[in-house]
Amino acid sequence: MPSGLKIALVNPRVESYSSVLPPLGVLYIGAVLEKAGFEVRVFDVSPYDDRTLPDIAAYQPDVVGMTVLTDYWLRAKHVAEFIRKEVPKATLIVGGIHVSTMPEESLAGLGAHIAAIGEGEMTMLDLCQRLAAGTSWQDVHGILFKDASGQVVRTPPRAFIENLDDVPMPARHLLNFDEYLIPPGFIRGRWSERSTPVITSRGCPFACIWCASKCIFGRTVRRRSVENVIQEVEHLIRDYQIDTIWFIDDTFTLHKKWVMEFCRVMIERKIKVAWGCQAHVKTADEEMFAAMKQAGLVQMDFGVESGSDRVLKALKKNADAESVRRAFRIAKKVGIRTMASFIFGCPSEDYEDVEATFRLAREIRPDFASSFFLTPFPGTELMQMAQENHWNFHFTPGETGMKKTPPLLIHFTAEELEHFRARFQKMFIWRNCLHSLLRPSVLGRAAWLAMRYPKGLFLGTRKFMKTHVLDDLFFEFLIYYVAERTRRRARAAGRSGTGVREEVGG
C-alpha cells in the first residue's frame, strides 16, 4: 500500500454552461489511484473566481495532476502559477487533450515537471507509485519532461488500455456531485432534474478533420462490457437518483450487437432512466433504433455538418446527403426524437454549398438543430491544413475553443458566416425552443427560473438582440444561471459553516 503521498487532481474551468459537466477524465484517474491505495482529492476549480485555489494550498499535496482543455488554457496557466507559488514542493503533472496535442508548449507554458500524453490513468498510477517509492520515473511510458541538462525527453508512447472493464467507475464521491446535477440537464427539449454524462467506449474509427479525439483515444474502438455499463447506470440511479443519462461516446451506435445487448438488459431488468446519445448517420439501423427507443432512448444526436457532398468529403465525414436522409427517415419511423448539428465555414464551401445545407436541414426536419463555426483545434488535420494554407485565423490558436464568432476564415468573411448562422438558427426557432416551452411541464419551470434569475434573462435577451440567434439567449441565460446558482449555494454554505470548498466541488 502506498503511504504518505498526497495527490491533488485539479480541473481548471472557464465560465460556460458546459462547465457544469463533471470532469470524468479526472474522476477516472482518481478512481484508479484510490484503488491503488493513494490519498486523493479532486479540486474542480471554480470558473468564476479563485476562492477554491487556497484549498489546494491548504491540502499541501505531494503531487498535483492537472488536466487541460484547449478552451481552458489561459485559466490553466493561472492555476499552474498559483500551484508553483503556493505548493512549490509538489510535483506538477499536466495532461489532457491540449497537453497531448501540444506537449512541449504545455510543459513550458505551465511550468510543469511532467507532461502526460494520451490516456492518463495508467501513466498517472505508474508515476505516483514511483514517486511514492522514491525510485526513478524517467522511463515511464507516455510522458515528456526536461532532464537535468534542460533537454526535452519524450518516452515511448503508452499502450492503450485494452480492457476498459479494468478501469473502475469514475470516483464521483470525490466531488460534491449534487453540484453537477443542475436542471434542465443536457438533452435539448427535455427537463431533467438530475442528469449526468456516462462514457461506454474510447476511440473513433472516423477521420473528421476537426476532431482531436484520436490524440487521446486513438482510432481503434474499445468498449466496456454491457454488464459493466449497466452496473454504472444502476449505481447512478441508486446512489445519485439520476433521471437522465447522456452517453457521450463519439459514436454510441457503432456496434449493433453491443447496442442490442445493452437494450435487452435495460429492458429485462426494467431499468427506468431516460437517455440520449450521439450517432453517425452511417450506423442507422431500424431494428437497433427501435430497440434503443424501447430501452429508454429519448433523443439521438447526429452530426450532419453540411448538405453538400463536396463539403462532407472535404471534412472527411464518411457520409453524404443521402445517408443523412436515410438516418432521419429511420429515426422518425421508429419515433426517435432527433438533434442535428451543422457547421459553417468549411474548406471548399461556397454559396451553393451553404444553400444545400439549408435545403437538407429543411428536408430532414430534425426536432432540434444547432450550428457552429468550423474550429481548428491543436492536433487536428484541420489545424495542419489551416497552417499550411495560411488561412486567416480569427483567434489565437491554443487559447480558445468553439466560439460564437468565426475562429477561422477560409472562403467567407466573419460577417457572412455570422449571417449564415443567424439565418439557420432563425429557421429552427419554433423547433428548437418554442414548442418545448409550450409544454406545461417545461413552461412552468422555465418561467420560475426566469423570475428567480432576472439578470440572466436580461443578459440573454441582450445577446439575442446582438446576434439574432435565439440559442444565444438561452445559453447566455444558462451560463449566468449556473454561475449565480453556484454563488448562492456557496454563500449559503459559508453561513451554515459547511465550507465553500465542499459546495463548489473543490
When pLDDT is averaged across residues 35-62 and rounded to a whole number, the result is 91
Q: What are the angstrom distances between the C-alpha of 383 and each of 69, 101, 145, 212, 375? A: 16, 11, 25, 10, 8
When pLDDT is averaged across residues 420-429 and rounded to a whole number, the result is 85
What confidence score (pLDDT) does residue 506 get?
28
Top pLDDT among 56 and 436 is at: 56
On the CB side of 103, CA atoms within 13 Å amount to 21
**pLDDT-based confidence at residue 23 (cuts at 50, 70, 90):** very high
When pLDDT is averaged across residues 29-36 and rounded to a whole number, the result is 97
DSSP, collapsed to helix, strand or coil, labels residue 372 as strand
When pLDDT is averaged across residues 70-88 and rounded to a whole number, the result is 94
Give percent above pLDDT 70 in the chain.
89
CA pair distance 123, 115, nearest whole angstrom: 10
**In contact, 130 and 196? CB cutoff 8 Å:** no
pLDDT exceeds cutoff 90 at 40: yes
**pLDDT-based confidence at residue 403 (cuts at 50, 70, 90):** low
Homologous superfamily assigned to 6-154: Cobalamin-binding domain (3.40.50.280)
- Which of 13-17, 232-236, 367-371 is modeled with the greatest confidence? 232-236
Worst-scoring range by mean pLDDT, 235-244, 334-343, 450-459? Answer: 450-459
Q: Report the predicted TM-score, pTM, of the whole model to 2 decimal places.
A: 0.88
Average pLDDT, the chain: 88
What confidence score (pLDDT) does residue 185 get?
80
What confidence score (pLDDT) does residue 19 get?
60
CA pair distance 420, 347, nearest whole angstrom: 16
467-504: pLDDT as tens digits: 766 667 777 777 777 777 767 766 766 654 433 333 32
CA pair distance 243, 246, nearest whole angstrom: 10
**pLDDT-based confidence at residue 401 (cuts at 50, 70, 90):** very low
On the CB side of 248, CA atoms within 13 Å amount to 12
C-alpha cell at 496: 451554515
Nearest to 109 by CA among 94, 128, 90: 94
What confidence score (pLDDT) does residue 405 get?
80
When pLDDT is averaged across residues 167-179 and rounded to a whole number, the result is 92
When pLDDT is averaged across residues 176-204 and rounded to a whole number, the result is 86
Q: What is the CA radius of gyration of the chain?
A: 23
What confidence score (pLDDT) does residue 402 get?
44
What confidence score (pLDDT) does residue 261 get?
98
**In contact, 259 and 291? CB cutoff 8 Å:** yes
Top CATH class of 183-394+401-412 equals: alpha beta
pLDDT exceeds cutoff 70 at 236: yes
Q: Do domains 6-154 and 183-394+401-412 have the same CATH topology?
A: no
When pLDDT is averaged across residues 174-200 and rounded to a whole number, the result is 85
**pLDDT-based confidence at residue 432 (cuts at 50, 70, 90):** low
What confidence score (pLDDT) does residue 126 get?
98
* Domain extent listing, the chain: 6-154, 183-394+401-412
**pLDDT-based confidence at residue 398 (cuts at 50, 70, 90):** very low
pLDDT exceeds cutoff 70 at 84: yes
**In contact, 231 and 269? CB cutoff 8 Å:** no
**pLDDT-based confidence at residue 439 (cuts at 50, 70, 90):** low
pLDDT exceeds cutoff 80 at 197: yes
When pLDDT is averaged across residues 86-97 and rounded to a whole number, the result is 96
What confidence score (pLDDT) does residue 17 get?
55
Top pLDDT among 229 and 16 is at: 229
Residue 329 sits at φ, ψ, to 5 deg, of -60, -45
**pLDDT-based confidence at residue 48 (cuts at 50, 70, 90):** low
